[in-house]
Amino acid sequence: MATQDELKQRAAFRAVEFVESGMVVGLGTGSTTEHAVKRIAALLTAGELNNIVGIPTSIRTEKIALESNLPLVGFDTHQEIDLTIDGADEVDPELNLIKGGGGALLREKVVAQASRRNIIIVDETKLVAQLGTNWALPIEVIPFARCTEEKFLTGFGGTVRLRTNDDGTPYRTDQNNLILDTNFGKIVDPYNLAAKLNERAGIVEHGLFLGLATDVIVAGEGEIKHLTRTSPNRKG
Ligand code: 5RP
């Protein structure tokens, strides 16, 4: 039986088959995407791909890419991304996502919104009938607003937990913000929830990625499924 990490690698390698020479590639964050970043770099080194540049979604991914000799650029020179490969924490049947387990949700959403195509790579444990089934929603807040946003989230049924490091100190994002992992139970209407969260000044971003994934590649025991978006693209 394949390990979860082997399944992640299979999904990543399948996604990299869609990368073509000359592309600007968005590089997601997390253990699944790490396989994709290293695979693209290896194909570049081998001369099977050329003229690829990446835009990383986190300092963590930037480091992995640079260590693997994958050239990086920023939005100052490249505002359009051909293809982004990223992971997810949960995927629903409409290909809506919860992301942010790795804390990179803000840059990940910026990169996703700048991308023509967003391929999400997951192992089959990430598929759920309804978002919120296994994963609390990561919500990035500015430190100044932490307590008022916590009250706001609790006010409509969220159970809020401040994300911490192993030593108990508050986790800080690449923007030096905090993350409130908020459990709403199964999320009945993610668009309505996203709209509420989008209205709050202290909430910089949340991990609901609605209408952004164009493709989801799911690695399971024995097979890899490639799901594509069929419903209209409502961004959230
Ligand atoms: C980071 C993310 C990751 O893509 C998500 O947490 C999945 O991570 P992994 O591939 O390690 O399971 O959203 O912010």
Q: What is the pLDDT of residues 123-140, one digit of tens each?
A: 999 999 999 999 999 999
Q: Can you give the residue ranges of every domain in the chain? A: 4-124+210-220, 137-200
Q: List the residue whose alpha carbon is closest to atom 6 of ligand 1.
A: 101
| 31 in contact with ligand 1, CB cutoff 6 A | yes
Q: Mapping DSSP to helix (H, G, I), strand (E, B) and coil, where does residue 200 land?
A: coil
CA distance 180 to 160: 6
Burial (Cβ within 10 Å: 0-12, 13-18, ≥19) of residue 2:
middle
Q: Please pick, among 34, 62, 108, 150, the residue that the annotation labels catalytic.
A: 108
The predicted-structure confidence for 88-124, as pLDDT tens digits, reads as follows 999 999 999 999 999 999 999 999 999 999 999 999 9
- Is residue 108 part of the annotated active site? The answer reads yes
How far is ligand 1, taken at its centre, from the CA of residue 106, in Å? 13
Assign domain 137-200 to its CATH architecture.
2-Layer Sandwich (3.30)
Residues 6+ away with beta carbon under 8 Å from 185: 132, 157
Residue 32 alpha carbon, nearest atom of ligand 1:
10
| 138 in contact with ligand 1, CB cutoff 6 A | no
The predicted-structure confidence for 179-212, as pLDDT tens digits, reads as follows 999 999 999 999 999 999 999 999 999 999 999 9
**Choices 3.40.50.1360, 3.20.20.70, 3.40.630.30, 3.90.1010.10: CATH for 4-124+210-220:** 3.40.50.1360
